[in-house]
Structure 1
Amino acid sequence: MEVPTQSSDLQAQLSAWKGEVDNVRGSLRTMRSRLEEMAGSRQANHERMVEIEHFQNQFIRQLEVADEMFHDLKQSAKFMGYGRPAIIHHDRPVDDYDRLNDRMQVFHKLHEELKGDFSRFESFR
């Protein structure tokens, strides 16, 4: 992927990514709400409840990852705008565009897989 060279282009890309992360958060909240409806259903037998718990855990974890990603994108914007950010996570660098881009691609891939899995699970109501 081509790296934006202008600071304004980088800031625009980071803002777009933050918007995408917010969209994923909204999607996860919607799926979690539908999952809660399923859990309250009379059709929720033991096997179904095990699967519901699995998805609940997946949603919790993906929301945690979304929060980390959003935080790191904010840190990256600070890094580019004002110098080094106050907190640097060595396992999640915020000063490397290529690595942030890779992380966003993986983030999207995992979210799309989870949405697909949940959609298939939902269709077996």
Structure 2
Amino acid sequence: MEVPAQSTDIQAQFSSWKEEVDQVRSNLRTMRGRLQEIATSPQPDAERSLAIEHFQNQFIRQLEVADEMYHDLKQSAKHMGYGRPAIIHHDRPVDDMSSLQDRMQVFHKLHNELSGEFSRFASYD
């Protein structure tokens, strides 16, 4: 993925990324609803209960990461739009487009892995 150079291109990229984060959040809420249905099914065994707890924790954490990503994208877009340096978090860099691009790639990779794992789990219900 190439990082845009023009200011309007950069703003468009931020908008696109924020939409992608919103789609991930929506997908996580849908999966969480499906997990709730599975959890309320009659007497899941111990292994299934552990898997349900695993997915609950993963969904909570991915929603937290999505919220952080969305916030960082908004802050970076605002600061880059004003020509000021972006805020740098020690645990999640937002100082340049390249680091944000890398974070978005990892964000998508982790979400796709979790989504696939959950799909396989839910198909056994």
Amino acid corresponding to residue 44 of structure 1 in structure 2 = P
User: Which 5+ residue runs of structure 2 have no aligned equivalent?
Assistant: none
User: 1:108 — aligned with what?
Assistant: 108
TM-score (norm 2): 0.93
Deviating 4+ runs (over 4 angstroms): none
Q: How far did 1:94 drift? A: 1.7
Question: For residues 73-123 of structure 1, what are the alpha-carbon distances to aligned partners after superposition, in whole Å with 9 as ceiling and x for unaligned?
Answer: 0011111122245x5413322221111000000000000000000000011
Please state if 1:45 is matched with 2:7. Answer: no
Question: For residues 21-54 of structure 1, what are the alpha-carbon distances to aligned partners after superposition, in whole Å with 9 as ceiling and x for unaligned?
Answer: 0000000000000000000000522221111000
Structure 1 distance, partners of 2:12, 2:115, is 27
Q: How far did 1:3 drift? A: 2.2
Structure 2 distance, partners of 1:50, 1:119, is 16
TM-score (norm 1): 0.93
User: 2:121 — aligned with what?
Assistant: 121
Structure 2 distance, partners of 1:3, 1:55, is 33
Structure 1 distance, partners of 2:45, 2:91, is 41
In percent, how many aligned pairs have the same letter? 72
Count of aligned pairs between the two proteins: 124
Report if aligned partners of 1:76, 1:95 keep a CA contact under 8 Å in 2: yes
User: 1:3 — aligned with what?
Assistant: 3
Matches within 5 A, 1:68-83: 68-82=68-82, 83=84
What is the RMSD computed on CA atoms of the aligned residues?
A: 1.3
User: Which 5+ residue runs of structure 1 have no aligned equivalent?
Assistant: none
